Structure 1
Amino acid sequence: MTNRPRWGVNAAVNRRSVLVGLGAVGAFLAVDLGAVAYANKWIGSDSARTTFLNGFRTVNGPQLGFRKNHAKGLAVSGYFESNGNAADLSRAALFRPGQVPVVGRFSLSGGDAHVTDAPGAPRGLGLAIGFPGRGQWRTAMLNLPVFPDNSPRGFYDRLLASKIVPGTGQPDPAATKAFLAAHPETAAAMDIIKKHPPGKGFGDSTFRSLNAFYFVNDAGVRTPVRWSLVPQQNSAPAPRSGNANGLFDALIRQLRGGPLRWHLLVTIAQPGDPLTDATLPWPDDRQSIDVGLLTLTAAATEAPGNARDVNFDPLVLPDGIEPSDDPLLSARSDIYAASYRQRTGEPKSPPAVQVSEVGP
């Protein structure tokens, strides 16, 4: 664990799929309402929140009671076991050797809560690691090598360009062309994404933070990092033909066969690596440290008391992890909070993925 690069306190798939995509409830709610007001740089922008929520509704319809993005999902639970390797990078208590509980949610990108699973659709994994109100860490990751956008405006423009034209099942080609011409950073990111085809399912997918953060140790040294969850299992069952919930049902069956595990790798930036642009990858030779093992043991239909009502706000961070200045982080936090507040006040209907209905 020596000779790690440090920066001091003052140092500096498929094109259609990408366009279309992208504890007790009371305890989680108390954390959510306090954390949003504390952490969010964009919190005062009512117009921005309304604009995004209206955009999701325009593209996907009302989707009452569901998340406005990553609407289709499955709750999971398990634990994270730290090996202590991150202790000199971060003072976060959850990086001390030992286990903490995990509540999580697998999802598909996009705002249609009953969409048919598509093999190329970006897959998400949200995690709440540790105890609510006691240094919990929340992270929302994707199985992509880079994020398609580097600004809130870029995300919003891509959202509108993704609207399906009735009768075609596809976005308007002219809207897609105009969007990519206006956002060359997304065109470049999509080229990178297409070179990294996804695995068969959720169980063999690598999930990445994509945004940069800082780990802060006891001495106050801030180390810029990104993280990823790399699967210990090297395969996943293929979705069954004709099954609208094929990816999720395959995950449920895989979990019934035993726990699924991912190594948490923390990658350390070097000076000059981009910290505020998630469309740009870091070089492959950057040092990565295995800091622990995520073990998921059970899946459950989304319902009160599990991940359904957790806001996986990326700015809910324990002492020892701090956000970078990436503009997507504050925007994500704000829109997640707005979506959370909106859906909790809406009528609920059954989610598409029902664990009890999945056969052997």
Structure 2
Amino acid sequence: MRLTLRPSLLCAALLLGVPAQAEDPLAVRIVNEMNAIFGTHPGFRATHAKGAVYDGSFTPAPDAARLSRAPQFQAPLPLLVRFSDGSGNPMIPDGAPAARPHGMALRFVTPDGQPNDIVANALDDFPVGNGEDFLAFLHAVANSRPGMASPTPLERFLASHPAAQRVVQTPKPAPRSFATQPYFGVNAFWMVGADGTRRAFRYAIEPVAGRDVLEASAAAAAPPDYLFAELDQRLAAGPAMFTLVAQMAAEGDPTHDATLRWPADRPRVALGTISIRARRADSDAQQRALNFDPTNVVEGIALSDDPLLPLRREAYGVSIARRQ
């Protein structure tokens, strides 16, 4: 059976990109390829270009302070929140398959102003576990076109990479609202408690309103900005609420590979409540200035050995330099 890459997966995959010139640094090749695929849009991100920034707050749960000494788990903090479509095209309709996965990025506004971010999207899985495989995956995508004889480069890649095949074949429906979509941080981190105890974990952000999606026909017929308009209308009636959750690893669970799921019975700890109040009046200016980066961590949160984390940091640095 012929396998084709869903447009939504392509957008998720372009988190990192594919090689352009072998002599260029990897991060430069990443962003060059993003721009080649989506076009160059001055002032916008290479991916997740269409978005808006909102004001909110975070209230920690009692168990959070025991797990981590990070400031957001000690006392309530203001939040900056950005919702986005997955594409690098800032004009993409919200309901288009290529707009998925949608994203949610958080910045805890700490007293000392140190960047303290969570970057999540609607995929709870990642197709590969390292940069080399990611490049090979995207090269296969770029060289597999409709009408090409089977097996295509993508089919050959997926046949030898079961995690990527699983992600490709997972349905990715359009959400009814940004506030009815769960979001996931696929990379592992460490929580560091006041006594120095370290526990590996992964973030999830769960909508208090519950998950709600559209049929494909309804998503196709939706207005081009339906998700942003719906959220503005929802917030006029009251805040949108989410629960920040940590899936806690057991001893021996891998932290170096985003494709390796931890067993479903691992503890899930509620870290606190996210409350989103309103779109910022200066949302457009904030989008140009902000660089949400999952490696922006503070004392109490530590990076794992996942090789995708430093690669993301480098690619984001190239992207924001061009955006500004």
Tell me the TM-score range normalised by the shorter chain: 0.7 to 0.9
Match of 1:54 among 9, 32, 37: 32
Q: Distance in 1 between matches of 2:8 and 2:165?
A: 11
Query: What do you get for the CA RMSD once the two structures are aligned?
Result: 2.9
Q: Which residue of 2 aligns with 1:234?
A: 210
Q: Report how far residue 87 of structure 1 moved.
A: 1.2
**Match of 1:148, as an amino acid?**
P
Q: Which residue of 2 aligns with 1:274?
A: 254
Q: Report how far residue 209 of structure 1 moved.
A: 1.2
8 Å Cα contact 2:128/2:163 also seen in 1: yes
8 Å Cα contact 1:108/1:123 also seen in 2: yes
Q: Distance in 2 between matches of 1:147 and 1:102?
A: 27
Match of 1:221 among 172, 191, 197: 197
Match runs of 1:3-152 below 5 Å: 15-22=5-12, 47-96=25-74, 98-118=75-95, 120=97, 121-131=100-110, 133-152=112-131
Q: Report how far residue 290 of structure 1 moved.
A: 1.1
**Match of 2:254, as an amino acid?**
P
Q: Distance in 2 between matches of 1:183 and 1:117?
A: 30
- Identity, % of aligned positions: 30
TM-score by length of 1: 0.75
CA 1:115–1:317 in 2, change beyond 3 Å: closer, same or farther? same
Q: Distance in 1 between matches of 2:94 and 2:175?
A: 14
Q: Distance in 2 between matches of 1:255 and 1:163?
A: 40
Q: Distance in 2 between matches of 1:115 and 1:154?
A: 28
Q: Which residue of 1 aligns with 2:284?
A: 303
- Give ranges in structure 1 of 5+ residues lacking alignment: 1-13, 23-44, 345-360
Match of 2:184 among 208, 218, 235: 208
Q: Distance in 1 between matches of 2:290 and 2:157?
A: 32
8 Å Cα contact 2:56/2:78 also seen in 1: yes
SS in 2 for 1:86: helix
8 Å Cα contact 1:56/1:159 also seen in 2: no
SS in 2 for 1:322: strand
**Match of 2:79, as an amino acid?**
V
8 Å Cα contact 1:189/1:280 also seen in 2: no
Q: How many residues align?
A: 302
Q: Does 1:293 align with 2:273?
A: yes
**Match of 1:259, as an amino acid?**
P
Q: Distance in 2 between matches of 1:312 and 1:228?
A: 17
CA 1:273–1:92 in 2, change beyond 3 Å: closer, same or farther? same
SS in 2 for 1:303: helix
Q: Report how far residue 259 of structure 1 moved.
A: 0.5
8 Å Cα contact 2:245/2:269 also seen in 1: yes
Q: Report how far residue 147 of structure 1 moved.
A: 1.8
Q: Moved runs in structure 1, 4+ residues, more than 6 A? A: none
SS in 1 for 2:134: helix
8 Å Cα contact 2:72/2:110 also seen in 1: no
Q: Report how far residue 21 of structure 1 moved.
A: 0.7
TM-score by length of 2: 0.83
